[in-house]
């Protein structure tokens, strides 16, 4: 399984223009994982490192484990993520991870 890894240093939750944003960022490499959804609900947008590497309804399932947040991408979305089938967001040293994870649960991330 080909995967992308984001070693998150901090997480952020924001609301702007009727949208909810949850981001996990590795400040050293400037890599990130971003989730976006309208405040009223609806499709969940997910992107990694660039808006070009993102799609709506891309996450098939998610789980929280010792390696962090593991996301399995839908096969139909693989092309949007450089043909990766999974994304792992490492949370070991991530500041504000719990509020971000709680918000993702409320956004309906499958499996959380």
DSSP labels, 13-66: EEEETTEEEEEEEETTTTEEEEEEEETT--PPEEEESSTTSEEET-EEEEEEET
Average pLDDT over residues 67-87: 94
Containing structural domain, residue 52: 3-106
In a domain, 96, yes or no: yes
Chain segment 48-73, per-residue pLDDT in tens: 999 999 999 999 999 999 889 999 99
Arithmetic mean of pLDDT over the chain? 94
Check: pTM over 0.85? Answer yes or no.
yes
What percent of the chain has pLDDT above 70?
A: 98
Give pLDDT tens digits for 8-37: 999 999 999 999 999 999 988 789 999 999
111 assigned to some structural domain? no
Residue 54 CA to residue 56 CA, distance in Å, equals 7
Is 38 a member of any domain? yes
112 in a structural domain: no
- Confirm whether 20 is domain-assigned: yes
DSSP per position, 88-105: EEE-TT-BTHHHHHHHHH
How many structural domains comprise the chain?
A: 1
Q: Domain for residue 62, yes or no?
A: yes
Supply φ then ψ for residue 102, to 5 degrees: -60, -40
């Amino acid at each position: 399984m080909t995967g992308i890894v984001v070693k998150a240093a901090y997480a952020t939750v924001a609301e702007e223009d009727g949208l909810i944003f949850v981001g996990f960022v590795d400040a050293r490499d400037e890599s990130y994982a971003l989730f976006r959804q309208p405040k009223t609900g609806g499709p969940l947008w997910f992107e990694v490192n660039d808006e070009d590497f993102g799609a709506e309804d891309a996450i098939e399932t998610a789980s929280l484990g010792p390696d962090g947040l593991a996301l399995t991408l839908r096969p139909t979305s693989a092309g949007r993520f450089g043909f990766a089938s999974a994304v792992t967001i490492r949370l070991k040293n991530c500041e504000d991870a719990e509020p971000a994870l709680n918000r993702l649960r409320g956004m309906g991330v499958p499996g959380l």
